[in-house]
């Protein structure tokens, strides 16, 4: 019988976490542990990519409007200001709710960049995915779309790329003509996508008297959807106090019907009469904001009626994200 070779006691060199490359899930982990990558350092890498960030837009100017444009507003744009300024050949960067053919981003012929906000994302951090798309769009060839991909776990987030002092000012549009400079000469594919998108768009208006409140018209009735920055439990208490006191309405025929939960923020929703337009709700919304501020400052425990009102509001919450 052949003699077995003596086993040496030498250990494989160990790599630090920062030096470990990405390999196939079933391959031996490069760290030298002897385990497969997916059961060793691959597990941490996968967790970093898929871990859900509850408030992906926290820290950005206009966080509430970011949430509204992501979940509630059909057609809107907002100019973005980069922390390091615009690269050469890029005259502007614009956020858009939706782009033609659901492209994640588009580099126009003139070099300007459009970023789509309402696309599906590959990781649990929308901010990181959008930042990755933005960086690739800045380097894309003019006249070409940017495809989606899984962003690197260690990549930057929007909070790293956008100027923190720049205002975020959404512009709501009736349709999606902003997709192309000359809609009359759009390609057949883009024209068809534009027609479908315009047909499905719900008329929406951003109020001027308060922040991040959006009036919209649906076939059944009108609504006001108001994204608020306050902690959820505190806000629900305040809404319950007002609701129990009969002070949660926005005028005759209106009703606070519940709320959405989206990206870590709460979005109270009111039903409005069909004849109540956006201008009609401006003053009532501003007056409600004053009542809400008083209710948010209250520290007394909820009464029995207020607790029942809170329970009703909680039961009518719908989570969007």
Span 235-266, pLDDT tens digits:
999 999 999 999 999 999 999 999 999 999 99
3-state helix vs strand vs coil in the chain, percent to 5 = 35, 20, 50
**109-129: average pLDDT:** 94
Which range, of 23-32, 133-142, 249-258, averages the lowest pLDDT?
Answer: 23-32
Query: Does residue 145 sit in helix, strand or coil?
Result: strand
What's the rounded Cα separation, in Å, for the pair 125 and 55? 9
Show the tokens assigned to 15: 């790599």
What's the rounded Cα separation, in Å, for the pair 90 and 111? 5
Quick check: pTM over 0.85?
Answer: no
**220-244: average pLDDT:** 97
**306-316: average pLDDT:** 97
Please report how many Cα atoms fall inside a 13 Å half-sphere around the Cα of residue 192, on the Cβ side: 4
- Give the DSSP H or E segment for 48: helix 41-50
Does the pLDDT of residue 7 top 50, yes or no? no
């Amino acid at each position: 019988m052949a003699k077995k070779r003596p086993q040496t006691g030498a250990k494989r060199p160990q790599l630090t976490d920062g030096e470990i490359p990405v390999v196939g899930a079933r391959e031996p982990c490069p760290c030298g542990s002897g385990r497969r990558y997916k059961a060793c350092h691959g597990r941490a890498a996968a967790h970093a990519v898929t871990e859900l960030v509850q408030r992906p837009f926290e820290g950005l100017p206009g966080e509430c409007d970011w949430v509204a444009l992501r979940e509630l507003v059909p057609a809107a744009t907002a100019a973005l200001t980069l922390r390091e300024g615009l690269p050469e050949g890029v005259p502007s960067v614009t956020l858009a709710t939706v782009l033609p053919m659901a492209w994640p981003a588009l580099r126009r012929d003139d070099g300007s960049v459009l970023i789509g906000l309402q696309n599906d994302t590959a990781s649990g951090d929308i901010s990181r995915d959008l930042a990755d798309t933005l960086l690739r769009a800045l380097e894309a060839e003019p006249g070409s779309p940017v495809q989606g991909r899984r962003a690197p776990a260690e990549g930057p987030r929007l909070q790293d790329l956008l100027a923190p002092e720049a205002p975020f000012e959404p512009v709501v549009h009736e349709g999606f003509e902003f997709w192309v400079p000359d809609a009359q000469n759009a390609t057949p594919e883009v024209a068809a996508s534009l027609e479908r998108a315009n047909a499905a768009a719900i008329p929406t208006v951003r109020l001027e008297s308060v922040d991040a409140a959006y009036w919209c018209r649906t076939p059944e009735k009108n609504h006001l959807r108001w994204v608020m920055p306050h902690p959820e439990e505190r806000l629900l208490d305040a809404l319950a106090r007002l609701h129990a006191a009969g002070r949660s309405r926005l005028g005759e025929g209106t009703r606070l019907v519940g709320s959405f939960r989206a990206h870590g923020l709460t979005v109270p929703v009111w039903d409005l009469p069909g004849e109540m337009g956006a201008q009609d709700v401006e003053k009532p919304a501003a007056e409600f904001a004053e009542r809400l501020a008083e209710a948010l400052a209250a520290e007394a425990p909820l009464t029995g009626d207020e607790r029942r009102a809170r329970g009703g509001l909680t039961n009518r919450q719908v989570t969007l994200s």
